[in-house]
């Protein structure tokens, strides 16, 4: 009777051992399986990490090379830009210097031209002044001979002519003088002509500056001058005669006229 409880107890113990062993075995198997799975997972993770690291390394190298290339390019560009800037500044400075030199040369030329123009204007002014002085001197008229005024200038009124026996105009002076009295030039000028005029007899015409001319008529001789000769004021021209057909009835005298550009001038306005 006692053996049966023991057997049962032993059987129960064996069952418990079996169950415990089974549980332990299952736990060991589960642990091993878990370890294996975890190890595989860690291997895969490690591989992935290695791949990522390799990719990152390669990417880093590529970026580094790109950055290095960009940096190198930037440096070269900077050098080129610096060189271009230096060249541009040099060229600008050179161009500025050339422009300044050209401007100075142009200014010098303008100054020289201005001085030349001023000198020319001064010379021209002096020449004109001298010419005006010469003209002023030439335009100073004097009496060609001393004596009584037989007939005055009469352009706007009539004077009686003993020779023509009528009233006529008179465009000059008739100055009483002895026969062969010397007649002198009234102003500086040049002998234009010596001729026998049908109205005024032997005559000498002298041309002066500014379009003026003087006529010396009713002469006896003109041996003191020749045509084209330059004469001075007061220089002898000829002698008084009685050769004027239109005034032959009058006393011996010099017929004297002044014209400007062909128009008769009253001698009283020029000779005092």
**pTM for this model (two decimals):** 0.52
Domain termination residue (choose one: 114, 138, 162): 138
For residue 165, name the pLDDT band (cuts at 50, 70, 90): confident
Same domain, 92 and 58: yes
pLDDT of residue 96: 58
195 falls within a domain: yes
Domain count, the chain: 2
**110 and 155 inside one domain:** no
User: pLDDT tens, 33-57?
Assistant: 777 776 666 666 656 555 664 564 4
User: Using one digit for the tens of pLDDT, what is the confidence trace for 118-160?
Assistant: 666 655 656 565 555 544 455 799 999 999 999 999 988 888 8
Structural domain harbouring 70 = 1-138
User: Is 172 part of any domain?
Assistant: yes
In this structure, the answer to whether residues 132 and 188 fall within a common structural domain is no
Residues 6+ apart with CB under 8 A from 183: 144, 145, 216, 219, 236, 237, 238, 239, 240, 254
CB 208, CB 253: distance < 8 Å: no
Task: Give the model's pLDDT for residue 27.
Answer: 75
**68 pLDDT higher than 50:** no
Q: What is the pLDDT of residue 60?
A: 46
Residue 110: inside a domain = yes
Which of left, alpha, beta for 147 (phi over 0: left; psi -120 to 50: alpha)? left
CATH of residue 209's domain is: 2.70.70.10
**133 lies in the same domain as 153:** no
171, 197: one domain: yes
């Amino acid at each position: 009777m006692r053996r049966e409880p023991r057997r049962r107890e032993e059987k129960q113990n064996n069952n418990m051992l079996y169950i415990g062993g089974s549980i332990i075995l299952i736990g060991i198997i589960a642990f091993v399986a878990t370890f294996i799975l975890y190890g595989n997972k860690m291997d895969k993770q490690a591989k992935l990490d290695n791949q990522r690291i390799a990719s990152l390394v390669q990417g880093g190298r590529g970026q580094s090379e790109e950055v290095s290339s960009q940096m190198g390019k930037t440096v070269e560009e900077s050098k080129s830009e610096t060189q271009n800037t230096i060249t541009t500044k040099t060229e600008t400075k050179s161009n500025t210097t050339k422009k300044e030199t050209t401007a100075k040369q142009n200014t010098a030329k303008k100054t020289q031209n201005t001085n030349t123009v001023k000198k020319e204007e001064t010379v021209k002014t002096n020449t004109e002044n001298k010419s005006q002085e010469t003209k002023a001197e030439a335009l100073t008229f004097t009496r060609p001979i001393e004596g009584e005024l037989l007939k005055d200038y009469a352009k706007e009124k009539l004077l009686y002519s003993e020779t023509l026996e009528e009233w006529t105009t008179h465009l000059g002076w008739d100055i009483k003088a002895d026969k062969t009295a010397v007649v002198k030039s009234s102003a500086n000028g040049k002998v234009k002509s010596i001729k026998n005029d049908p109205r005024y007899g032997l005559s000498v015409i002298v041309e002066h500056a500014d379009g003026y001319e003087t006529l010396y008529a009713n002469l006896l001789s003109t041996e003191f001058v020749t045509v084209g000769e330059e004469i001075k004021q007061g220089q002898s021209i000829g002698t008084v005669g009685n050769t004027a057909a239109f005034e032959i009835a009058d006393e011996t005298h010099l017929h004297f006229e002044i014209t400007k550009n062909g128009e008769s001038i009253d001698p009283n306005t020029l000779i005092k």
